[in-house]
Structure 1
């Protein structure tokens, strides 16, 4: 590894040589004769080199036939001839160095420095100065940063998709329902959510309502109960009543339900959080509901879990948004005029209409970004690189573009919450999840992967390209 001093000295020497070569280019017609004479003078050196190569070939033959060699075969061999050949070669090189005034490296660097200063050349100019414009452009185009650099169209589409998503959030997603009472009275709900909630499977008589009713009867689950068998008999779960039992039980979570709900079905238990109205704390709880529980297999438990969720999805209270049941365990924070904790806010949001159906509606916001920006990225990629396979989510540039667009949308959602007086129902849960989905891999890339990928990029540079650069520099 070269030291910083050696690199600087090498740069000075190369600058001097480059300056000399440029002057030689202008006077090449006048130097033809001198070059011819130099070629004659160096002919002896070429002859010496040829003799050395012949001796090396002869030595290879001798080594190959060493078993057949006898002592008398070396009668005319003089080892001093080999030494004299190398001495002649060394003297010829020394004579050529003497002609240009070379004594040692330090004095050579000083001479080069004096020369470049006298010629008005920057002795510390970057190494790129030795390359032609074509070679320099090739290096810049193939650099790691060039592959992930944004242009004006990237900025335009990222900004446009982020702003469009924010407008969608404010004008269409809004809040789950129109509020007529309370501290947020007068705020208008989402027309799309209102349309979805207008369908009630418990009051309809179409095929889905009949199917849901049948599933409700056949897919009984233990976590639908609001009490469990405690040490002293049957105990009511604190804070749980018909409207809140789905937010308090993990089995009703659209995602966590396929873990905790399936386990509850197999064991005849209920898992979730109780809620104390006095302390305003949620407490983890798990209790047995079915005392005479018959064993249930894994496949049957999964099918029963799926059927029960389908039967509940279009009821008046609906299912909670994914992972919202888990947030009840956060008994921290003090938000709003009433100083609610995160767990209380999650419970309040569900009881005021923020269910799985509104979560699907809020997914329109990140969907706008995913559809518009991904379409632009794919069209741009194929127009530049053709039909090449690429993983958009793992590409550093494209992932950053998606992250920035979702960042704009989350900022827009924060502004929406502010405009709606801090109403938690204005939170676009799906957009914040989408933002986190790109933020975490990006942090990993910035902290751990970026340097490694840079090194891999340098190692994968085509050797043919470097050969072309060397040939061009020779010319």
Structure 2
């Protein structure tokens, strides 16, 4: 028997079609013989009546003798399949063995197998209620505690002293990294991607200045820094994005530990980048929010009276205090809603009898991912209202944007590709289980054949 499920299904269908044709033929021949025999019997009875003869009485007695039937030689699957292939060499499909009504019934049964994979089937009212509640709580924390970073005024909006949580995070960073510690780190971890102006550079970087150089230098991004920053340190380069969205790479120093083993150079480069980022995180300008410098490529849009592009607004947001510290503060409400939803998911799974491993709140699980999307989507609606009311882009929750992308993209891919693929697996498993049940039933009947008596 073939190990390939697709071949096995096709072979099984071919055998089923062949046996159906054989049964149809036998049934047709049986009907013809029965009709012929009935006609002969009726004719004989009519003749006897015309001759005045009595019809014979049927003998209902049965013989007491029993004869054991000779065991039937059962054919192997290979023999059965070979006969089917010889009889039906062409393509076969389910229309050859099932009626349209039967196909519709099977399709409806298989369609139900994937109902729990969709949004309506995967979530109940308690799942939705928990997610919505967590999202509302997250949005309220963002409005009342995070607010906006402290700034003197932005795009026509009034100055702000900043939200309590935003200021608290900055205060904590200041306590961990006081000015004297920052100065010490700056001396220990000098890097090639730290020019604050275009002075002394081979190629000028438009917009580069003391207040924006960390935003424009990819090495200062808390995430990208460990890619581009490490690369820059190893090569002695400076990778920057100017205010027009152009990437500029130029030599600013000698390559790090040139001639040493690459692993040693790599580890030293990572250490230098980490130390340098630590020296900048608690400064007045701070580090940019993770991945936010990539908005420099969005050279479109008309925002505010000045008609700024998205790229320029993002750059001005950093200048006005939207840095890593505010990003962390804005992430707190998201972390709280994540914790609520994930704990709720885990508790419900455990109460339903799932094991600890099955109940683990992994966001790859479609049900949990959808709950998180609902929670963050609700928080996003509240944040959008906050931005609209304040008319201040500094109210935007950048971590919320990244989080929605984090869960939204996998969910979109799942809906386009994964959901139907998973449903197809369920249908195939159902078909294979039915085949196995038929196979076991046939085996049982065949094993009983030698014991049948008449």
* Distance 1:380-1:336 versus aligned 2 partners, 3 A rule: same
1:376, 1:221 → 2: CA distance? 46
> How far did 1:188 drift?
5.5
Residue 247 (1) aligns with residue 215 (2)? yes
1:305-454 to structure 2, matched below 5 A, reads 305-390=273-358, 392-421=362-391, 423-454=392-423
1:97-136 to structure 2, matched below 5 A, reads none
> How far did 1:401 drift?
1.5
CA contact 2:146–2:330 (8 Å) conserved in 1: yes
Aligned residue-pair number: 346
Residue 191 of structure 1 aligns with which residue? 164
1:179, 1:42 → 2: CA distance? 112
2:293, 2:203 → 1: CA distance? 21
Gaps of 5+ in 2: 1-12, 18-58, 76-98, 442-454
SS of 1:345 mapped into structure 2: helix
Residue 54 of structure 1 aligns with which residue? 70
1:444, 1:226 → 2: CA distance? 41
1:323, 1:150 → 2: CA distance? 32
CA contact 1:174–1:188 (8 Å) conserved in 2: no
> How far did 1:413 drift?
1.2
**1:57-91 CA deviation, whole Å, 9 max, x = no partner?**
6x99xxxxxxxxxxxxxxxxxxxxxxxxxxxxxxx
CA contact 1:239–1:274 (8 Å) conserved in 2: yes
| 1:457 corresponds to which of 397, 401, 426 | 426
CA contact 1:377–1:398 (8 Å) conserved in 2: yes
Gaps of 5+ in 1: 4-39, 61-108, 110-122, 129-138, 276-280
CA contact 2:151–2:320 (8 Å) conserved in 1: no
| 1:216 corresponds to which of 163, 168, 186 | 186
> How far did 1:313 drift?
0.7
Residue 265 of structure 1 aligns with which residue? 233
Which one scores higher on RCO, CA 8 angstroms, separation ≥ 6? 2
Residue 23 of structure 1 aligns with which residue? none
Residue 169 (1) aligns with residue 169 (2)? no
What value does the CA root-mean-square deviation take over the aligned residues?
3.9
> How far did 1:42 drift?
13
> How far did 1:216 drift?
1.2
SS of 1:189 mapped into structure 2: coil
* Distance 1:43-1:54 versus aligned 2 partners, 3 A rule: farther
1:181, 1:405 → 2: CA distance? 29
Using structure 2 for the length normalisation, give the TM-score: 0.66
SS of 1:286 mapped into structure 2: strand
1:344, 1:457 → 2: CA distance? 50
Residue 151 of structure 1 aligns with which residue? 124
SS of 1:363 mapped into structure 2: helix
Residue 46 of structure 2 aligns with which residue? none
1:330, 1:305 → 2: CA distance? 27
* Distance 1:224-1:448 versus aligned 2 partners, 3 A rule: same
1:458, 1:352 → 2: CA distance? 56
Using structure 1 for the length normalisation, give the TM-score: 0.64
